[in-house]
Amino acid sequence: MRFKIFKKKDPQVFKLFIESARVVIRGGDILKNVVDDYRDLDLKMAKLTAMEHEGDRIIQDLVRKLDSSYVLPLDREDAFQVVQKLATTLDYITGIIDRMILYKAEAPNKKVKEMVDILIESLHLQEKAFNLLDNLNKNKKEILDICDTIRQLERKQDHNYRNGLADLFENEEDPVKIIKWKEVYEHIEIAQDYVEDVAELIRNICLKYS
């Protein structure tokens, strides 16, 4: 992959961004599979944990790259924040499944599935934005449009989160189930917040370096 606007600078940083985004996408796909097919949770959790380790490796590679590269395509702080937030997103995705297993929760309801679908859509848009950084000057408008769409999806997610909690407290009589699913809702919402945080960082990078 060529990074036209960053020639003579180390392109590996952006490759690490893309690697991180793809790991998070794979984690999101496992989560999607869990809510659609609520079986073999331990096996799916093991796969997701392996992806977390891969995400940790990418962060370590990035830190080494930041320490060793004299010329970088962007500020070290910007680079580290992006990958750190991607890793945290994956942590919360793992936490969603972890709580389902830990609490022995029943199969996810329609609201959980809707929230996961929004999260997955946002993750795919995020990956697309990273790939467009290949040619920032050419792709600037599309990148900014993607970031705006992610922001809109976060607002939609926030609406679903609030409605989901309201419905949970109004219609669920078992307080234990309320506690279980409240934490699942919260983890999906927080994961979505981190996706928006990454989108905001991408937006800032786009404006700063174009």
The 10s digit of each residue's pLDDT in 83-122 is: 889 889 999 999 999 888 888 878 899 999 999 999 999 9
Distance between CA atoms of residues 83 and 81, nearest Å = 6
Where do we find the tokens 């029943």? Answer: 106
User: Mean of the per-residue pLDDT values for the chain?
Assistant: 86
Q: pLDDT > 90: what percent of the chain?
A: 49
Q: Which of 64-68, 78-82, 142-146, 198-202 has the lowest mean pLDDT?
A: 64-68
In CATH, 10-209 is 3.40.640.10: no
pLDDT of residue 157: 97
**pTM for this prediction:** 0.89
Tokens standing for 145? Answer: 């449009």
Distance between CA atoms of residues 141 and 207, nearest Å = 10
Query: Is the distance from CB of 58 to CB of 64 less than 8 angstroms?
Result: no
pLDDT of residue 198: 95
Residue 64's Cβ-count burial label (10 Å; 0-12, 13-18, 19+) is exposed
Residue 175's Cβ-count burial label (10 Å; 0-12, 13-18, 19+) is exposed
Distance between CA atoms of residues 97 and 43, nearest Å = 11
